[in-house]
């Protein structure tokens, strides 16, 4: 018999508004027995059925909703439907139709909490970060094979967030063999490596695809500084867009080696216009300012400074520092393209941080573009937490 998760009085409101998370404080009791990842029936304190969820006793998010239909069965057929629906939604968007490098499943926003799946050619990389997703690994893998026809599914469930669910990290092939090296993908005519075995996230930052295209459109005739460049995808895009020079900085030597390989994959780009520097970005920006260097476009795409809202205050200082340094390096009329991927820093807070940096830098700046993740990373209206990536293009002077 399915266990019942009984909510505290009044805590059914968020579920009725289709928010997928149930925190520990909203749970009155678990009636019956359930192991981590098991499906439980969610009911109000008055016994009203609200849906079905995955039980996660080790996490502050005690349960994640699979379905808001209390009568829907959570079984292999459920995951076949949900995965097929997610793939079909992307295929229905003209800009994604036929794409071979894109996100196929974006967790809660696709009705599959804790499940991320990215496609790179014939390889799907699967990341499972919740107890419920862990339990249904085989069903999700099979559903991905059916929906995509891909020959290989490789697991990258090595995110630290799994520890919050009481789960150990896992990586390795789920279907087919592990790739022998990075998978080469095509993005807007550029060839780029996706290291699905050892790269960041699932091997590549697919979420920035459209923002890289925008950077390309802004780059003609500009001297560009790309900070936290990782494997150089922004750098190659601005070169393709006609930048006169691009200096790229990252603290990771392996990332810079990958960036050089990516440049070599695109011989039509003038390699002499690109230089790669291994350094701490904060220190490198100070050194560039001391040397009197100036740029027409500065790109700031730092790692996650605030995984949660509890760390937002400390992260805000880091974001302000990096944007202050970037703004001070711009020529009049120059552009700052700046991002935050921290879920704990909302879009309005990020705008205020950048505005404060502009005041301290002594520059007038205007927002010309508000940026977000590409459309294969949708955000469910009932789940604003899914909007993790935000960005601004600001013109100074």
Q: Residue 306: its pLDDT value, please?
A: 63
Q: Which CATH superfamily is domain 76-181 in?
A: RNA methyltransferase domain (HRMD) like (3.30.750.80)
Residue 49 contacts residue 43 (beta carbons within 8 Å): yes
Distances (CA, A) of 225 to 208, 270, 274: 17, 16, 10
Where along the chain do its domains lie?
4-67, 76-181, 205-396
DSSP string, 344-379: TS-HHHHHHHHHHHHHHHT--EEEEEEEE--TTS--
Q: Residue 310: its pLDDT value, please?
A: 66
DSSP state of 10: T
CATH number for the domain running over 205-396: 3.40.50.150
Exactly one of 150, 227, 341, 394 is catalytic; name it: 341
Exposure pattern of 148-157 as b/e (b: 16+ CB <10 Å)? bebebbbbbb
Active site residue 341: yes
Q: Give me the tens of pLDDT residue by residue for the chain, a chain 397 residues long.
A: 799 999 999 999 999 999 999 999 999 999 999 999 999 999 999 999 999 999 999 999 999 999 999 999 999 999 999 999 999 999 999 999 999 999 999 999 999 999 999 999 999 999 999 999 999 999 999 999 999 999 999 999 998 899 999 999 999 999 999 999 999 999 999 999 999 999 999 999 999 999 999 999 999 999 999 999 999 999 999 999 999 999 999 999 999 999 999 999 999 998 899 999 999 999 999 999 999 999 999 999 998 886 666 677 778 889 999 999 999 999 999 999 999 998 888 999 999 999 999 999 999 999 999 999 999 999 999 999 999 999 999 999 9
**C-alpha to C-alpha distance for 89 and 81, rounded to whole angstroms:** 12
Beta strands 123-128 and 152-157 are parallel
How many alpha carbons lie under 13 Å from residue 384 in its C-beta half-sphere? 6
The encoded tokens of residue 96 equal 């994604």
Q: Residue 307: its pLDDT value, please?
A: 65
**C-alpha to C-alpha distance for 143 and 354, rounded to whole angstroms:** 43
Q: Which residues pair with 338 in a beta bridge?
A: 300, 392
CATH architecture of 4-67: Roll (2.30)
Beta strands 223-227 and 295-300 are parallel
């Amino acid at each position: 018999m399915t266990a019942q998760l009984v909510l505290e009085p009044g805590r059914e409101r968020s579920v009725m508004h289709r928010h997928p998370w149930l925190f520990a404080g909203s749970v009155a009791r678990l009636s019956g027995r359930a192991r981590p990842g098991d499906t439980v029936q969610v009911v109000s304190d008055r016994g009203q059925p609200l849906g079905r969820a995955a039980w996660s006793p080790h996490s502050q998010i005690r349960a994640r909703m699979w379905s808001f239909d209390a009568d829907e069965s959570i079984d292999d057929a459920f995951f076949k439907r949900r995965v097929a629906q997610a793939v079909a939604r992307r295929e229905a968007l003209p800009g994604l139709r036929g794409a071979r490098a894109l996100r196929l499943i974006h967790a809660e926003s696709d009705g599959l909490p804790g499940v991320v799946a990215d496609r790179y050619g014939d390889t799907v990389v699967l990341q499972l970060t919740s107890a419920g997703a862990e339990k249904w690994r085989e069903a999700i893998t099979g559903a991905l094979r059916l929906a995509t026809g891909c020959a290989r599914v490789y697991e990258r469930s090595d995110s630290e967030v799994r520890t919050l669910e009481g789960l150990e990290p896992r990586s390795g092939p789920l279907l087919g063999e592990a790739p022998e090296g990075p998978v080469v993908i095509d993005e807007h005519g550029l060839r780029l490596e996706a290291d699905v075995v050892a790269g960041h996230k699932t091997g590549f930052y697919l979420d920035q695809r459209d923002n890289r295209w925008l950077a390309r459109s802004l780059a003609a005739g500009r001297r560009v500084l790309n900070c936290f460049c990782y494997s150089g995808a922004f750098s190659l895009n601005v070169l393709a867009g006609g930048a006169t020079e691009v200096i790229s900085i990252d603290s990771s030597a392996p990332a810079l080696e990958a960036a050089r390989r990516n440049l070599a994959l695109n011989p039509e780009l003038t390699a002499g216009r690109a230089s790669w520097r291994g350094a701490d970005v904060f220190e490198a920006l100070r050194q560039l300012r001391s040397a009197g260097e100036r740029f027409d476009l500065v790109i700031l795409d730092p790692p996650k400074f605030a995984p949660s809202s509890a760390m937002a205050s400390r992260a805000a200082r880091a974001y302000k520092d990096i944007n202050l340094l970037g703004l001070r390096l711009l020529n009049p009329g120059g552009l700052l393209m700046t991002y935050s991927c921290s879920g704990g820093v909302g879009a309005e807070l990020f705008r205020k941080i950048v505005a404060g940096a502009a005041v301290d830098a002594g520059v007038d700046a205007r927002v010309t573009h508000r940026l977000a993740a590409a459309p294969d990373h949708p955000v469910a209206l009932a789940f604003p937490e899914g909007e993790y990536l935000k960005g601004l293009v600001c013109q100074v002077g």
